[in-house]
Structure 1
Amino acid sequence: MYVITPLSYWLNLYHAKNFPIFSEDLFMTNGEQYDILSIVDSKFHLDRNVYAKNGPVNLSTFFAMTYGLGFATLSVMLVHVLLFSGSDLWKQTRNACGGNKKMDIHTKLMKNYNTVPMWWFLVILVVNIAAILFACQHYNASLQLPWLGALLACAIALYFTLPIERPVANMCFKVYGYISMAQALTFLADFKLGHYMKIPPRAMFMAQVVGTVLAVFVYTITAWWLMGEIPHLCDTSMLPRDNPWTCPMDRVFFDASVIWGLVGPRRIFGDLGEYGKINWSFLGGAIAPVLVWLAHKAFLSQKWIRLIHMPVLLGATAMMPPATAVNFTSWIFLGFLSGFVLFRYRPDWWKRYNYILSGGLDAGTAFMTVLLFLALQS
């Protein structure tokens, strides 16, 4: 972010100097912001003739770089897990299938609590899928996603093929396919933390369900309130320069629907697009953990080499844009202080408290977000 992005801009890669170095907007080749509404027809599908006349969609250097890092994150995660945890996963899977389940101290202590019945999860799954199918059928004119596409999104989370030239359907598919997977992983992380903290599983389950249902109402009511109270909400061309209500996350989500749904990846990253070479990031991501693994094998006495976690390093850019590279400064400071120093001088503390520290930092961020809003911005 601090070296390659400015260097790419200076070298004018992909006509970088025609556009801002950092922006989540989409641009025409001449540097003007792309008028997305001009390339859609009455059904909100891509008008190919108008698109061919207007020219291709262009990204800022920062936006293009983050997509490359996102591609690399996919391959780096698979290769890293295979190299560093493949044998453990295979052994645990084989033991589980063979009925030889070895319990650690945490699992033994958690046996004191009633587990969450599987049918609780299945009920939530069935109810959600039924609601998804109803929404896709009843509001098909707006959502544009057929029920088969909804089922595909529910069934395929890790590997999915996005529908083309229908941006609204693309957003629905992304919500059902990717975001549902991301939230499931978050819930699993909560359960893991609760496992170490000896929180009863049923209490954890109810906290998650109640929190999720409550959040739906809070988000919806807040959105209605903002749209009614703030004129030109999210419209950067109409808002005053110092107005904070620019909705950067929603703009990124919209631009992603244009790239992957309306225009289509073939016209951006494929043979018809301007950014085909970014696909080499998949190969770079696959090679990165191999280099770390080889260094670890060559210098077994240097335990710190194994701690170079390439999926975390590359995945740290997942929220960019709208987040900026300034996020790295606090991360590097805390990561170096708590990680390297503690592991180097107090490895017993590191092994005992690193996961608790991670949970504490996450919880602290959430509390401080609410506190700062109420105290300084409300």
Structure 2
Amino acid sequence: MTRAKFFLIALICSFSWYVIPGYLFTTLSSISWVCWVFSGSVTAQQLGSGMRGLGFGAITLDWSVAASFLFSPLISPFFAIVNVLLGYALVIYVVMPFSYWGVDLYGARRFPIFSSHLFTAEGQKYNISAIVNDKFQIDMVKYEEQGRIHMSTFFALTYGFGFASIASTLTHVGFFYGREIYDRFRASYKEKEDIHTRLMKRYKDIPNWWFHLLLVGTLVVSLLLCTILNDQVQMPWWGLIFASVIAFIFTLPISIITATTNQTPGLNIITEYIMGVILPGRPIANVCFKVYGYMSMTQAISFLSDFKLGHYMKIPPRSMFLVQFIGTIFAGTINLAVAVWLLDSIENICQDDLLPADSPWTCPGDRVFFDASVIWGLVGPKRIFGSLGNYSSMNWFFLGGTIGPIIIWLFYKAFPSQTWLPLVNLPVILGATGAMPPATPVNFNSWIIVGTVFNFFVFRSRKKWWQRYNYILSAALDAGVAFMAVLLYFSVGLEDKGVSWWGTDGEHCQLATCPTAKGINVPGCPLN
């Protein structure tokens, strides 16, 4: 079968199937059978919920759930999947049960076991709007009245492992790839060109001044935003330079992790932390600094990845550059227009307290982004992870993440015959749950299962099939879901025409968000 025919068949199948989990039977997106069996048990639902709990046994029949946060499981190498599995299992099935039920870490039982919301000491949701003044800065009087901000223990631990992941990235790349980076840099000036480079010589190369002009132009526009619109942006001009330096430093080591594992450690936590320490109480400045530092690095890696693909596919470099540049302008403009349109047209958008549980407009990713701006920008790390907060012990994760790769490297040097040791990638293991929340255990369960099955039963047994059709299948599944999602939105979504029955009432784990500490009263939850 030709690849084009295979792609078309897989796309039609994916397109046709998605109408079931995407509209007619949405419960299939998270089949949390433990909740169905133990419908009256808070603990069982905390364990079994794939969306609001630890996801024990939770699975999905929805490709968009399996491939939404970690990208397609079909394109990740098996050793990377194993590393993600180790990190995920460590956090979800070892650290979390011990922290929640074992030692009640940070008063864990007063809050939901899996949540990105912020809480008061009494287990009630924190009223963020009450502590913000007209300039989007913190009102200390109101903050003192409401008390310290608390997080679910899982959310706090996610930040701790994020600290460890970003620290381990530098030492892992330095010890395992440092010599190779140095040798390749020296050899790049005298090494013989490979076949791909020789073939690409047929096309005109991109002049360096294109890149320089684009860099200078974007920096000038950004500096103007930071100076002329400083009341809105709130970030000083030196913050832009500092963010650019951070992105420059981390692009190479994180690119190596991405190239070898298909997993990209994020700079979001470290950029938020740094600006939160420098300029506490200014959430807009913190968000801008994070975007310029973190997203610049992420887009640089995406840019390099696209050029690498174009290099192997023999696409003219100038065409690649122009397509990316024009595509970015179009995508940014359209995204902004759609965001404004949705904010104006969807009532209570992103306010999950005012929306039904199965609403598509709860914005879990934006909720995490907003809460992060409160933690790092509005309140500041000193009042959360410093001497004035509850989670100062999380800073020890920086030290653990720094030392970990060095220990593994020393073991490898002592036992060079153990060739599996370099495959132990601590940045991936420690950062495995970095996307959680908004990612949930059912996303990880399905991603790991699908990736493992394909690696064992397809790649191992029929390597030629894998080489010929694997990436085509991944693209077809993505495209089928995307086309059906757009069709559903414009055909029934805009008119609010839904199907209402047991199979569209979510995953049926309403008790999974209930606290288990005595005396905490939450509507809809049993009183302990």
Q: Is 1:187 matched with 2:296?
A: no
Query: How far is 1:251 from its partner?
Result: 1.2
Task: Tell me, yes or no, if the aligned pair for 1:26 and 1:34 is still in contact at 8 Å.
Answer: yes
Counterpart of 2:118 in structure 1 is: 26
The corresponding residue for 1:235 is 351
Q: What is the CA distance between 1:31 and its match in structure 2?
A: 0.7
Over residues 300-356 of structure 1, what are the superposed CA-to-partner deviations in whole Å (9 max), with x where a residue is unaligned? 44433332222223333232211112222233234434557788789x979x969x9
Which residue number in structure 2 is paired with residue 9 of structure 1?
100
Tell me the CA shift for residue 16 of structure 1: 0.8
Task: Tell me how far apart the structure 2 counterparts of residues 364 and 284 of structure 1 sit (CA, whole Å).
Answer: 41
Question: Per-residue deviation at 1:95?
Answer: 3.0
Aligned residue number for residue 160 of structure 2: 68
Secondary structure, counterpart of 1:233 in structure 2: coil
Q: How does 1:87-126 map to 2 (within 5 A)?
A: 87-96=179-188, 99-126=189-216
Distance 1:38 1:375 in 2: 41
Residues 118-169 of structure 1 show CA distances to partners (whole Å, capped at 9, x for unaligned) of 1112222222122212222332222212323233323432475313210011
Aligned residue in 2 for 1:367: 479
Note the 1:142-181 alignment, pairs <5 A: 142-157=232-247, 158=250, 161-162=274-275, 163-181=279-297
Q: In the TM superposition, what is the alpha-carbon distance from 1:296 to its structure 2 partner?
A: 3.6
Structure 1 residues 345 and 279: alpha-carbon distance in aligned structure 2, compared to 1, 3 A threshold: farther
C-alpha displacement at 1:367, in angstroms?
A: 2.7
User: How far 1:26 moved relative to its partner?
Assistant: 0.8
The residue that corresponds to 1:216 in the other structure is 332
Among 1, 20, 41, the residue aligned to 2:133: 41
Task: Compute the TM-score of the two structures, normalised by the length of structure 2.
Answer: 0.64
Aligned to 2:35: none
- Counterpart CA distance in 2 for 1:339 and 1:231 is 44
In structure 1, how many angstroms separate the alpha carbons of the residues matched to 2:174 and 2:353? 48
Counterpart selection for 1:256 from 358, 367, 372? 372
Instruction: Specify the alignment match of 1:131 in structure 2.
Output: 221
Pairs aligned (count): 372
Structure 1 residue 6: deviation in Å?
A: 2.6
Q: 1:311 aligns with which of 407, 427, 449?
A: 427
Residues 116 and 202 of structure 1 are in contact (CA less than 8 Å); yes or no, is this contact kept in structure 2?
yes
Q: CA deviation at 1:373?
A: 1.0
How many angstroms does 1:25 deviate by? 0.9
Deviates more, 1:120-129 or 1:11-20: 120-129
Q: CA RMSD in A?
A: 2.9
Question: SS of the counterpart of 1:270?
Answer: coil
Q: Secondary structure at the match of 2:352?
A: coil
The residue number in structure 2 matching 1:203 is: 319
Partners of 2:166 and 2:388 lie apart in 1 by: 23
For residue 53 of structure 1, give the secondary structure of its aligned residue in structure 2. Answer: helix
Give 1:34 deviation, angstroms: 0.8
Deviation at 1:255, TM superposition (A): 1.0
Distance 2:403 2:442 in 1: 27
Distance in 2 separating the partners of 1:104 and 1:343 = 28
Distance 1:229 1:53, change over 3 A: closer
Structure 1-normalised TM-score? 0.88
Q: Which runs of 5+ in 1 are unaligned?
A: none
SS of the aligned residue for 2:390 comes to coil
Q: Structure 2: which 5+ runs fail to align?
A: 1-90, 251-269, 491-528
String of CA shifts for 1:183-205, please: whole Å, max 9, x gaps: 11111122122223332222221
Give, as a single letter, the amino acid of the residue that structure 1 aligns with 2:119.
F
Distance in 1 between the 2:280 and 2:351 partners? 26
SS of 2:162's equivalent? helix
CA 263–18 in structure 1, closer or farther in 2 if over 3 Å, else same: same
**1:342–1:349 CA contact under 8 A, matched in 2:** no
Return the alpha-carbon distance in structure 2 between the equivalents of residues 364 and 240 of structure 1. 32
Partner residue of 2:172 out of 80, 85, 97: 80
Counterpart of 1:267 in structure 2 is 383
